[in-house]
Amino acid sequence: MAFFYFILFLLLIFAIIGAVIYFFTELTSRIKYFILAGLLVGWAAIFAYSYFQNKKRIERDKIYYEYLHDKYITCIDPFGKKVIVNKQNFNFVSGTLVFMGKEGSRYEGLVISIDKCKGE
């Protein structure tokens, strides 16, 4: 998220510089339009990045909600096999967003990223 704010800050700085160049210099119209187009592409890229990150966050929240309410979640382990994740066999590690096999279960030591899971 800090990267996003950094890029947003840089685009704001470039927008200010672009506005000064556009209105107070004797550059050709072609160069001015090129600068404007670059700024618009940058803003569109930030919008797309934010949109898809929010979509991914909502999907992760949905999967976590299902896990908390003892529903079964279908995941793909690092070896490509389907695994059913539930609270009886897995713990959720919020710092790294992974499900980790509980001690004593047949999944002990198995680590599955929440990104490799699908909710109902």
Tokens of 30: 């072609």
Tokens of 68: 């908390």
pLDDT in tens, 30-89: 887 887 888 788 888 888 888 899 899 999 999 999 999 989 999 999 889 999 999 999
Record the pTM.
0.70
Say yes or no to pLDDT of 7 above 70.
Answer: yes
Q: Which residue stretches of the chain are H helix? A: 2-24, 29-68
Tell me the three-class secondary structure of 20-45, residue by residue: HHHHHCCCCHHHHHHHHHHHHHHHHH
What is the reported pLDDT for 97? 93
What is the reported pLDDT for 1? 64
What span, in angstroms and rounded, lies between the C-alpha atoms of 64 and 111? 15
What is the reported pLDDT for 27? 76
Residues 15-30: what's their mean pLDDT? 78
Tokens of 21: 């160049």
